[in-house]
Amino acid sequence: MPLLVMKFGGTSVADLERIANAAQKVKREVERGYDVIVIVSAMSGKTNELVGWVEETSPLYDAREYDVVVSSGENVTAGLMALTLQEMDVPARSWQGWQVPIQTTSAHAAARFVDIPRENIDQKFAEGMKVAVVAGFQGVSPEGRITTLGRGGSDTTAVAFAAAFGAERCDIYTDVDGIYTTDPRISTRARKLEKIAFEEMLELASLGAKVLQTRSVELAMRYKVRLRVLSSFEDSDDNSGTLVCDEEEIMESKAVSGVAYSRDEAKLTLVTVEDRPGVASAIFGPLAEAGVNVDMIVQNISEKDYGGRTFAVTDMTFSCPTNQVARARKAMEEARAAGQIAYEELVEDTEVAKVSVVGIGMRSHTGVAAKMFQALASEGINIKVITTSEIKISVLIDRKYMELAVQALHDAFELEAGA
């Protein structure tokens, strides 16, 4: 019997009416001949409420008990979904993480998958169960304690189950009808993509696109799990939504498939750092230890005269999320006080944004960077930092120009026109 994984996010199961709507979609797939594994999130807003209760009860909480409380939201949804399906005469039952069991590491609130044994669920399918409703976002540690996977963990749960059970496809139901060339709230000319390659989706997710969680895309790419992103609130067929798939399934690609942005970026520059072997390690080692997520890095080497002698120096620029600036500053000040590095000053710019163009077509198309830079220049937008990869070009610009930059790049690469 072919198997399908269907995942419903918080907005898709926000109340009993929406759970019933989602259950109808599941029933339709059962009637088409599929066995179905349904992965559910907590009802919209419930996880935040549970986290708030934990923090109010115990500001310095035990992470193991945090996971017990926070994982309960998915358990409620799983039970309600199973009951709803039973009322529709669909043989279904709910599964909590420990019942599968979903085996994870012991890193509470940030656990990773170790294994998903198939035996228990396969046995129930053999006995006539048609739908296994699994609570997403959770598992069980080697010590037998409940664990959670971090925000967005239900997406990752769905992909992991699709990989473990060899599912034909993993459908991610959400409040948008697919993946767009850019944010439709910024550009009214944004176009829904029929297909997008795993690598492109991974870049877009890591660069700010919120449709899929980055870890879920990484897992899908590793195990070749075909993902489909579609809306819970619209009627769907086999051509609905956007398919995230292997590059070989896409016949021809434009140079650029999408434009992504990240609003809350900061640019920090260490001015006049001694240019010597090991200086980069002396800077980025303490930043890593402080938990600072460094993204773009640029090094400018120059010379400076001290008492008639010339020394090689460098300015080291890097970007990080704005909410990590204080942490980065503290790490650099402590490293300087400990004699690990020397610099004249740390210059902070917290009014920047990152805008990126992404596309596997960049491998075979030339002139992408030139067209991008010309489009920004024609709008009077100055570029502060540039980084590139094989399928991505990212720039750091003044935040006030972010939406203008997104629109200009979307138009320059004619993304509204399709392939």
Q: Residue 191 domain-assigned?
A: no
Distance CA 347, CA 324 (A): 15
Lowest average pLDDT, out of 63-67, 101-105, 222-226, 414-418, goes to 414-418
Q: Check whether residue 19 and residue 151 sit in a common domain.
A: yes
In total, how many domains does the chain have? 2
Q: With pLDDT > 70 as the criterion, what percentage of the chain qualifies?
A: 96
Any idea what the CATH number is for the domain that residue 131 is in? 3.40.1160.10
Distance CA 94, CA 177 (A): 27
Q: Is 7 annotated as a binding residue?
A: yes
Q: Is 334 annotated as a binding residue?
A: no
Mean pLDDT of the chain: 92
Q: Check whether residue 291 and residue 390 sit in a common domain.
A: yes
Q: Is 47 annotated as a binding residue?
A: yes
| Residue 248 pLDDT exceeds 90 | no
pLDDT of residue 176: 85
pLDDT of residue 277: 86
| Residue 85 pLDDT exceeds 90 | yes
Q: Residue 225 domain-assigned?
A: no
Query: Which residues lie below 8 Å from residue 414, measured CB to CB, with a gap of 6+?
Result: none
Q: Are strands 138-140 and 169-174 parallel, antiparallel or unpaired?
A: unpaired
Q: Check whether residue 40 and residue 149 sit in a common domain.
A: yes
Q: Is 180 annotated as a binding residue?
A: yes
Q: Check whether residue 168 and residue 253 sit in a common domain.
A: no
| Residue 359 pLDDT exceeds 80 | yes
Q: With pLDDT > 90 as the criterion, what percentage of the chain qualifies?
A: 74
> What does the pLDDT look like over 164-207, one tens digit per residue?
999 999 999 998 889 999 988 888 889 999 999 999 998 888 77
Q: Check whether residue 157 and residue 297 sit in a common domain.
A: no
| Residue 220 pLDDT exceeds 90 | yes
96: tokens are 């909590």
Distance CA 12, CA 234 (A): 11
Final residue in a domain of this structure, among 129, 157, 175: 175
Alpha-carbon torsion 182, 185, 187, 189, what sign? positive
Q: Residue 226 domain-assigned?
A: no
Q: Check whether residue 285 and residue 159 sit in a common domain.
A: no
Tell me what the mean pLDDT of segment 343-361 comes to. Answer: 93
Q: Is 304 annotated as a binding residue?
A: no
Final residue in a domain of this structure, among 143, 175, 207: 175
Q: Is 9 annotated as a binding residue?
A: yes
Tell me what the mean pLDDT of segment 119-135 comes to. Answer: 97
pLDDT of residue 363: 85
pLDDT of residue 369: 94
Q: Check whether residue 311 and residue 417 sit in a common domain.
A: yes
Nearest Cα to 6, choosing from 32, 57, 31, 40? Answer: 40
Residues 127 and 70 sit within 8 Å (Cβ to Cβ): no
Distance CA 396, CA 354 (A): 5
Using the CB atoms, write b or e for 350-380: b if 16+ within 10 Å.
eebbbbbbbbbbbeeeeebeebbeebbeeee
| Residue 308 pLDDT exceeds 70 | no
Q: Residue 345 domain-assigned?
A: yes
Q: Residue 262 domain-assigned?
A: yes
pLDDT of residue 250: 80
Q: Is 249 annotated as a binding residue?
A: no
Tell me what the mean pLDDT of segment 140-161 comes to. Answer: 93
Q: At CB < 8 A and 24+ separation, what contacts does 294-297 make?
A: 294/318, 294/319, 294/320, 295/265, 295/319, 295/320, 295/354, 295/387, 296/354, 296/385, 296/387, 296/394, 296/396, 297/387
Q: Check whether residue 158 and residue 11 sit in a common domain.
A: yes
Q: Residue 136 domain-assigned?
A: yes
Residues 205 and 212 sit within 8 Å (Cβ to Cβ): yes
Distance CA 229, CA 158 (A): 12
Q: Residue 11 domain-assigned?
A: yes
Final residue in a domain of this structure, among 133, 151, 175: 175
pLDDT of residue 365: 84
312: tokens are 């090689």
Q: Check whether residue 123 and residue 271 sit in a common domain.
A: no
> What does the pLDDT look like over 34-55, one tens digit per residue?
999 999 999 999 999 999 999 9
Any idea what the CATH number is for the domain that residue 413 is in? 3.30.2130.10
356: left (phi over 0), alpha (psi -120 to 50) or beta: beta
Side-chain-side CA neighbours of residue 287 (13 Å) = 24
Sorting pLDDT into bands at 50, 70 and 90, what band is 247? Answer: confident
What residue spans of 134-268 are helical by DSSP H? 153-165, 198-206, 214-223
pLDDT of residue 221: 93
Task: Supply the pTM of this predicted model.
Answer: 0.83
Q: Is 174 annotated as a binding residue?
A: yes
Q: Check whether residue 166 and residue 20 sit in a common domain.
A: yes
**Residue span of the structural domain in which 265 resides:** 249-419
| Residue 17 pLDDT exceeds 70 | yes
Q: Is 210 annotated as a binding residue?
A: yes
Q: Residue 206 domain-assigned?
A: no
